[in-house]
Amino acid sequence: MAAPAPPDRSSAEGIASRLERLPTSLWHLKVRILIGIVTFFEGFDQMLVAYTLPVLTEEWALTPGQTTMLITGGSVGMLAGALVSGWLSDRIGRVRMVCLCVFITATASLALAVAPGPEVFIALRFIQGLGIGGEVPIAATYIGEIAKSHKRGRFVLLYELVFPAGLMAAAVVSAWVVPHMGWRWLFVIGALPLVLIPFILRHVPESPRWLASRGRSDEADRQMTRIEAEVRKARKGEELPEPQPLQVSVNATARPSPRELVTGIYLRRTIVISILWFTGYFINYALTSWLPTIYTSVYGIPLDRSLQLSLLSNVAGFVGCLGAALLIDRIGRKLCLGGGLLLSGSTLLLLGWLGAGTTGQVMVLATLATMFVFLCNMSLYLYTPELFPTRNRAMGTALGGAWNRIGVIIGPLVVGGLVGAGASMGTVFAVLGIVGLTGAAAAVFAVETNNRSLEELSP
């Protein structure tokens, strides 16, 4: 039987085959660094309000309602940004959308540095949230589209580590800048990615997969040829392997459509990832936003000690993210997703069953639960773009980001409601545990994507 003929080099199948045969090189590292730096600052900018809030509360004599708006305004903006950016990215391109989101985030950060009062600050945080919520899922989509199927998990998730690193950096930088230079300088620092936009536009090519999916075959071929030349140069002139035919045909005539996300094979995928994003981030932000207050108000721990224990949880979360990057190609996506939520939910249920009676119980078990839920949540940034075809990939990923933000908003509100109603700490942690087990149950229905090309998964 004759071997299948290689596809047209500029067709969707041909572009995918050419990407799949590329050895990992310094070009891949350069692109991940450029996109990674701006993603790092998106995480950095997201957390700044948490570390400026104590100063703002005193300086502007904030009411409880204004304080709540300062916290949630950015999250609402991120929710809207995630939804809009996915739709736009599938129409104008990944790189343009990333640059637009970085521009919005950074310019809003500069404006926040001179905000005269809480009303303007809240409005600017909403605008900044549009950029943050939009950049993160689109950047993840782009990095996934330039990766090949073999060890795609490590390739993408080692890049994704920059976001939690940005979250941690915000805490470290704020601890020095706020007392020595004032809170406004934090937002000036947050605007630094503005200078990177020209470098990204010059050195980061548009996704050839996206160009081919839009019927722009000539542009896809030019960008792919440019990438191949840079990879050859990075590997000192070494010839590239011959492209191998894909096992499936790619539907290059279909157009982007939100309806496709809830029809056919994609309906189950959309439901599953929506539940996973919501439950994972419900637990994540319920814990990270409330633990410092719980330590001080319930267990009587001094504020500085409470912040140290909260930092321990953040470090554990970063360890969970690193674990996802190192394990996901070995054990698969489903086990990382389901296992992370199962272990997190079970740990929280155990803490609830014990009654969360001592600081030691909370410190150990809540920290472990944070590590396990970060293992799941980090994996979602890789897994979600794998589930949808190129024509709708950014939209599907952004939909996951939207459920992320819904979980971020509702999780802390539920914990606050339980605490305000006089519920015991055991009850609070048990509720979080049940949410985790619900997510773990949904992961049973997830599609395994390990070591399969994007086109094979979603033609």
Which pLDDT tens digit goes with each residue over 394-417?
A: 889 888 888 988 998 898 888 888
**Pick among 3.50.50.60, 1.10.3720.10, 1.10.260.40, 1.20.1250.20: CATH of 258-457:** 1.20.1250.20
Q: What is the mean pLDDT of residues 126-142?
A: 92
- pLDDT greater than 50 at residue 323: yes
Q: Which fold has domain 12-234?
A: Growth Hormone; Chain: A; (1.20.1250)
Main-chain dihedrals φ then ψ at residue 31, nearest 5 degrees: -65, -45
Q: Say how far apart CA 12 and CA 216 lie, in whole Å.
A: 10
E strands along 88-244, which residues?
Answer: none
Which DSSP category does 250 fall into?
-
Contact 98, 42 (CB under 8 A): no
- Asked if 294 contacts 425 with a C-beta cutoff of 8 angstroms, the reply is yes
Q: pTM of the predicted model, to two decimals?
A: 0.86
Q: pLDDT at position 7, please?
A: 58
pLDDT band at 443 (very low <50, low <70, confident <90, very high): very high
In the chain, which segments carry CATH 1.20.1250.20? 12-234, 258-457
pLDDT value at residue 259:
87
- Give the percent of the chain with pLDDT over 90: 48
